[in-house]
């Protein structure tokens, strides 16, 4: 599951490479026109400062002056005022530089921390259960209160002061030099990441609104499973079961492997629902609506026994994705050295080149081990594999207990958010933390009832609360909700430790989101142990490795589809929603035929396109397989 507001962090507040800040010839004309300070003028300013402070500061002076020159606009002052600012603002003395860093770090933590708290509270009406969402709730939920912050900091010269004194290092430079850096040098480098671009507040505000709308769309995308009909008119799922797409549908499909009587029928029905969502033939009235019964195989719709004409959802899913693309593309002209969302995501945020990520994924997808593991799964199932067996979860050691019985246990244990929150210290102690440390971590985590599938939101200021937002029904938390909540608590635990147990606030957090996913996976795998079930399987370590491998096989293809979709949108920036839908479906078939059809059976399958992340969380999906790999490595050290 995702950590809250990651989309904004990925696409906006990221290290943006303005190395040397000399705009290349391929940069958009709009960006070229924004260059006010000529390179020759900046070079003369740098030479003047070096002559005064000495050669030992040459690198910092040249890099800092070039950075400021690339960010300085006409309204910030004349070239002469630019020169004066650089000459008086550059700090060569190490002690004074330490003082500046400390003050910047303190104040940025205060500002960022309180903005984050405001954002969380403004989003409560749309993200937490409660009264019906009103239009004004959606407006506040999409409002980015910090959208003017950076422009204000440029106006009052704080941003320029930072960029002048703390050089930005490119990914290549960090990779080559970072191994020799001290903790303080890394903290200085992260300060250099902070002000490297200048995105207008209206562009940021629009992005925030679009992301919030996408999140609202996905959070309300529930399927009433008790209203689904087989071709014989039977109902396979209990009344009142409402599953969010795609998380709830996928998790129910996983749980149905344990149903020896009608499990395959249930899985085939869920698979049909997923395909209807992907191609948008799903009747719009069955989304989050218990008034109708629906046969997803034939797409027949009924109300009180009478068959009705249907209105398909048509292209809404892809309209939301297209709006997401357009809002992110609007950033491109302000980040010329990372010229599109793909480069910003991989080079800037993940700090792994896209080509390396794709090579890693494709290497596993074509590895001979895939066929061997698939053969093992087929043997366990006793039938040919089906496309949805990418979610096979039979490697996990499970007690001989049904999900219905697990639901009774979790609903009794966690009837409300407070019960879950009170149990957090015990969960950490069962996972190996001391009582003292468990109490300290848990004291900084709040549990909230989520409308959607749930998410984790870490604090941005030390000693503030992280929030675990998870789905809890009026009858209590069912097992699916519990499983997700344990995953999210893994995020919260990482978020709390990496915020509060670091020497420099600028070094809070993890290298990229894949690392927090790794911790979350480590928690989630042990959900049954936390309920008191003992794992006596002597092959449990081997099974965990197989489970990690198969999870990577599943999600790596999905991540490649996510990447391919964004590449297609950039190649077709004026595409319509129907054209985008056709492109996503075509590319999902291509990836399936290349990496899955020979293993899983079927041709031209579209199942990889079901993931909701594609719609509301741009380019996030690559974090999951990388997270699985990190999780496997970390567990080997524990």
Model confidence at 8: pLDDT above 80 = no
In terms of residue numbers, what domain contains 492?
A: 403-530
Q: Are residues 157 and 36 in the same domain?
A: yes
Q: Which residues pair with 446 in a beta bridge?
A: 467
Determine the pLDDT at residue 539: 60
Q: Are residues 181 and 85 in the same domain?
A: yes
**Last residue of a domain, which of 496, 530, 564?**
530
> Which residue in this structure is represented by tokens 């994924």?
361
Inside any domain, residue 6: no
Model confidence at 16: pLDDT above 60 = no
Determine the pLDDT at residue 206: 94
Inside any domain, residue 541: yes
Whether this prediction's pTM lies above 0.75 is answered by yes
Inside any domain, residue 244: yes
Dihedral (CA of 176, 177, 183, 189) sign: negative
**Last residue of a domain, which of 146, 161, 196?**
196
Model confidence at 397: pLDDT above 80 = no
**286-331 pLDDT, tens per residue?**
999 999 999 999 999 999 989 999 999 989 999 999 999 999 999 9
**456-489 pLDDT, tens per residue?**
999 999 999 999 998 898 899 999 899 999 999 9
Taking residue 515's Cβ as centre, other Cβ atoms within 10 Å add up to 19
Q: Are residues 189 and 102 in the same domain?
A: yes
530: pLDDT confidence band, cut at 50, 70 and 90?
Answer: very high
Determine the pLDDT at residue 493: 97
Q: Are residues 308 and 325 in the same domain?
A: no
Q: Round to whole Å and give the CA distance between 492 and 235.
A: 38
With a CB cutoff of 8 Å and minimum separation 6, the contacts of 369 are 549
Number of domains the chain contains: 4
Determine the pLDDT at residue 545: 87
Determine the pLDDT at residue 34: 58
Q: Are residues 362 and 491 in the same domain?
A: no
Inside any domain, residue 615: yes
Inside any domain, residue 8: no
Inside any domain, residue 607: yes
Q: Are residues 331 and 419 in the same domain?
A: no
Question: Read out DSSP for 570-636?
Answer: HHSTT--HHHHHHHHHHHHHHHHHHHTHHHH--SS--GGGG-THHHHSTT-TTHHHHHHHHHHHHHH
Q: Are residues 570 and 616 in the same domain?
A: yes
Model confidence at 11: pLDDT above 50 = no
Q: Are residues 546 and 523 in the same domain?
A: no
Determine the pLDDT at residue 401: 81
Q: Are residues 238 and 347 in the same domain?
A: no
Determine the pLDDT at residue 141: 87
**246-285 pLDDT, tens per residue?**
999 999 999 999 899 999 999 999 999 999 999 999 999 9
> For residue 584, which of 214, 215, 278, 270 has the smallest C-alpha distance?
278
Q: Are residues 29 and 67 in the same domain?
A: yes
More confident residue, 601 or 342: 342
**558-585 pLDDT, tens per residue?**
999 999 999 999 999 999 999 999 999 9
Inside any domain, residue 578: yes
C-alpha angle 73-55-86 in degrees, rounded to nearest 5? 20
Q: Are residues 324 and 444 in the same domain?
A: no
Model confidence at 23: pLDDT above 70 = no
Phi, psi for residue 301 in degrees, rounded to 5: -115, 140
Q: Which range is least confidently modeled, 21-35, 156-170, 231-245, 304-318?
A: 21-35
Q: Are residues 369 and 474 in the same domain?
A: no
**Last residue of a domain, which of 314, 336, 359?**
314
Mean pLDDT of 228-244: 95
Model confidence at 76: pLDDT above 70 = yes
Inside any domain, residue 352: yes
C-alpha angle 630-635-638 in degrees, rounded to nearest 5? 135
């Amino acid at each position: 599951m995702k950590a809250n507001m990651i989309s904004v962090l990925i696409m906006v507040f990221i290290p943006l490479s303005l190395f040397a800040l000399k705009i290349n010839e391929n940069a958009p004309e709009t960006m070229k026109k924004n260059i006010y300070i000529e390179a020759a003028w900046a070079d003369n300013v740098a030479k003047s400062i070096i002559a005064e402070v000495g050669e030992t500061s040459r690198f910092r002076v040249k890099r800092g002056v070039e950075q400021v020159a690339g960010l300085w606009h006409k309204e910030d002052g004349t070239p002469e005022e630019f020169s004066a600012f650089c000459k008086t603002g550059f700090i060569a003395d190490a002690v004074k530089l330490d003082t500046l860093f400390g003050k910047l770090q303190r104040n940025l933590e205060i500002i960022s921390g309180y903005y984050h708290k405001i954002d969380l509270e403004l989003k409560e009406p749309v993200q937490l259960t409660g009264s019906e969402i009103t239009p004004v709730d959606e407006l506040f939920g999409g409002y980015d209160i910090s959208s003017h912050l950076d422009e204000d900091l440029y106006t009052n010269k704080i941003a320029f002061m930072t960029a002048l004194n703390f050089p930005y290092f490119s990914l290549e430079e960090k990779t080559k030099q970072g191994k020799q850096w001290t903790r303080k040098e890394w903290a200085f480098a992260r300060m250099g990441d902070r002000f490297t671009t200048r995105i207008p507040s209206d562009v940021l505000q629009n992005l925030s609104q679009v992301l919030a709308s996408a999140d609202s769309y996905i959070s309300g995308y529930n399927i009433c499973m008790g209203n689904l009909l087989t071709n014989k008119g039977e109902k396979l799922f209990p009344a009142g079961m409402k599953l969010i797409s795609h998380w709830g549908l996928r998790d129910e499909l996983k749980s149905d492997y344990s149903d020896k009587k009608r499990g395959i029928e249930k899985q085939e029905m869920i698979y049909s629902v997923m395909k209807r969502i992907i191609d948008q033939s799903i009747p719009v009235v069955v989304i989050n609506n218990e008034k109708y019964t629906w046969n997803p195989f034939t797409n027949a719709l009924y109300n009180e026994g009478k068959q009705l004409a249907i209105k398909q959802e048509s292209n809404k899913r892809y309209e939301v994705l297209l709006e997401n693309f357009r809002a992110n593309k609007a950033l491109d002209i302000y980040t010329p050295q990372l010229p599109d969302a793909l480069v910003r995501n991989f080079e800037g945020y993940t700090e792994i080149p896209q080509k390396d990520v794709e090579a890693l994924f494709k290497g596993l997808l074509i590895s001979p081990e895939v066929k061997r593991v698939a053969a093992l799964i087929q043997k366990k199932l006793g039938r040919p594999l089906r496309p949805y067996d990418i979610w096979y979860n039979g490697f996990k050691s499970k007690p001989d207990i049904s999900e219905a019985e697990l639901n009774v246990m979790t609903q009794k244990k966690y009837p409300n958010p407070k019960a879950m929150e009170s149990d957090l210290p015990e969960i950490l102690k069962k996972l190996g933390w001391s009582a003292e440390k468990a109490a300290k971590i848990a004291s900084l985590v709040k549990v909230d009832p989520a409308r959607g599938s749930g998410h984790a939101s870490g604090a941005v200021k030390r000693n503030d609360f992280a929030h675990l937002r998870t789905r809890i029904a009026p009858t209590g938390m069912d097992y699916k909700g519990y499983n997700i909540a344990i995953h999210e608590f893994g995020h919260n635990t990482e978020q709390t430790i990496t915020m509060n147990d670091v020497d420099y606030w600028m070094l809070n957090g993890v290298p990229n989101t894949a690392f927090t996913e790794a911790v979350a996976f480590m928690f989630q795998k042990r959900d049954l142990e936390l309920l008191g079930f003992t794992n006596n399987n002597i092959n449990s370590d081997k099974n965990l490795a197989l489970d990690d491998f198969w999870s990577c096989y599943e999600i790596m293809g999905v991540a490649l589809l996510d990447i391919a979709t964004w590449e297609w949108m950039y190649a077709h920036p004026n595409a319509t929603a129907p054209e985008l839908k056709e492109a996503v479906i075509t590319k999902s078939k291509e990836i399936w035929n290349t990496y899955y059809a020979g293993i899983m059976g079927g041709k031209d399958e579209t199942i990889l396109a079901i993931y909701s992340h594609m719609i509301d969380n741009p380019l996030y999906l690559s974090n999951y397989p990388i997270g699985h790999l990190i999780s496997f490595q970390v567990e080997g050290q524990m």
